[in-house]
Amino acid sequence: MRITYFILSEKIMYSTAVKMMLDEVKKNNKIFDTASELKSELLHSKGTVVIIGPNSLMDPYELSQELSHAYPLTAVLLLLKKDEIDYKKAMFTGAVDVIDIDSEESEVLLSIEKAEKIVNFKAQINDHANKEEKKEAKVITVCSTKGGVGKTTISVNTAVALNKHNLKVAVIDLDLQFGDVTLLFDQQAGQTIYDWVKQSFENGDKSYESYITRHKMGIDILAAPSLPEFAELITGEHISYLIDAMKQDYDMIIIDTPPAFVETSLVALEMSDIILLIASMDLPALKNGKLAVETLSLLGLKDKIKVILNRDSQTEGITKEMVEDVLGMKIEGRIPSDYRTVISSLNKGEPFVTMAPRSSVAKSLMKISEHIVHSFPKEKQISIQDKKKKGFFSFKRSKK
């Protein structure tokens, strides 16, 4: 288990000294200026040692008690001035250890090792407790063999619509050369899927959490590489491992794909529970859609396909029935043409499901999300309804 170290102290000299020590022994660490910032980061952390130094702005014992109870996969180590140390109080707050800030480095490292063991032990208990409730996310891959049909827009807004059901949603941008998922969320990705491959997967750690871009709505995004040439370094093996790992941590995973069947997107399609094939009412898109259906049928994936008709409008010479006849499949969802709303959404970087919830396009996406939710097994549907009744903060998510 990869453990992260968070450092909090009023005095930057203490924080810097602890950071330098952790850097020397190659421990992943981060300094925080305030307790609120630290708590915000702990919400997304799995396995953390929090080192609290001297601070006149807060009671380190009270903070230790709060962190120990609120964040179960966290161990707290107190590094305080000699006259501030109270071993009995530290024990009651759940701190792993409390030592003099002026102690030898070797003594501090021994306490850190003790804290690591506690975190690993807590993780084992947590894994055992949740083993029978192992999460298996639904994987929805959005595809089309023609560009410009609104595939990425549908991916992003479907993710937002599912998020409104109190589901934990992630989006993987597998348009590895020209992916725009972060752009449509008005986000800038600090790390991408390429960084995960080079820095984590190939180094044996393989954890993906620190490469996620988190949107304010609670949706997690794994962004496409920043440069098109990086795409060729990402393989089907990487994607297979990534999807399996993320399935344990989310309720829904939305995968946006390029307008072509390449190795990485084929792996995603094979691992999907639902394939949203985007069609539109023009002949080139219909021709490519038919080829896509035939290809997916040869791969044994036809039963997973749900055809979504985008930009549905009255078009001379082409009808809904004609689209179904050409594709040989029933249209499962229809999204009306609404250029003004969609282009405004794209320019603002705000999904139209939240920007214009009463618009026809937003309502159509919400309806599609309802169908996806009801594609769960019956017992899973019940759990989703419970989430709706109880609210976002009142249910527990299983963790691996």
For helices 151-163 and 360-373, angle between their N-to-C axes, nearest 10 degrees: 70
Instruction: From first to last of the 400 residues of the chain, give the pLDDT tens digit.
Output: 678 899 998 888 889 999 999 999 888 899 998 888 898 888 877 789 999 998 777 888 999 999 988 888 899 999 999 999 998 888 888 899 999 988 998 999 999 998 888 888 887 777 665 554 556 789 999 998 888 888 999 999 999 999 988 899 999 999 999 999 999 999 888 899 999 999 999 887 889 999 999 898 889 999 999 999 999 999 999 999 999 999 989 999 999 999 989 999 999 999 999 999 998 888 888 889 999 999 999 999 999 999 999 988 766 668 888 888 999 999 999 999 888 999 999 999 899 999 999 999 999 999 999 989 887 665 444 344 444 433 333 333 333 3
Under a CB-based contact definition with an 8 Å cutoff, are residues 374 and 385 in contact?
A: no
Ordered DSSP codes for 30-45:
EEESSHHHHHHHHTT-
Question: How confident is the model at residue 393, as a pLDDT?
Answer: 30
Rounded-to-integer distance, Cα 284 and Cα 70, Å: 55
Question: How confident is the model at residue 168, as a pLDDT?
Answer: 92
Using only C-alpha atoms, the chain has a radius of gyration, in whole angstroms, of 24
Domains contained in the chain, CATH given: 4-131 (3.40.50.2300), 138-394 (3.40.50.300)
Question: How confident is the model at residue 128, as a pLDDT?
Answer: 63
Could you tell me the two tokens for 286? 């219909």
Rounded-to-integer distance, Cα 104 and Cα 388, Å: 53
Question: How confident is the model at residue 383, as a pLDDT?
Answer: 44
Residue 312 DSSP class? E
- Chain position carrying tokens 């998510």: 397
Question: How confident is the model at residue 400, as a pLDDT?
Answer: 36
**H or E element in which residue 379 lies:** helix 378-390
Cβ atoms within 10 Å of 92's Cβ, excluding its own: 12
Rounded-to-integer distance, Cα 191 and Cα 375, Å: 33
Which residues, 6 or more positions from 381, have their beta carbon under 8 angstroms from its beta carbon?
373, 374
Rounded-to-integer distance, Cα 335 and Cα 318, Å: 16
Q: Is the dihedral of CA 79, 85, 86, 89 positive or negative?
A: negative
φ and ψ at residue 290, rounded to 5 degrees: -65, -45
Residue 196 DSSP class? I
Under a CB-based contact definition with an 8 Å cutoff, are residues 63 and 75 in contact?
A: no
- Chain position carrying tokens 């952790």: 22
Reduced to 3 states, what is the DSSP secondary structure of residue 28? coil
φ and ψ at residue 282, rounded to 5 degrees: -145, 150
Could you tell me the two tokens for 66? 């709060």
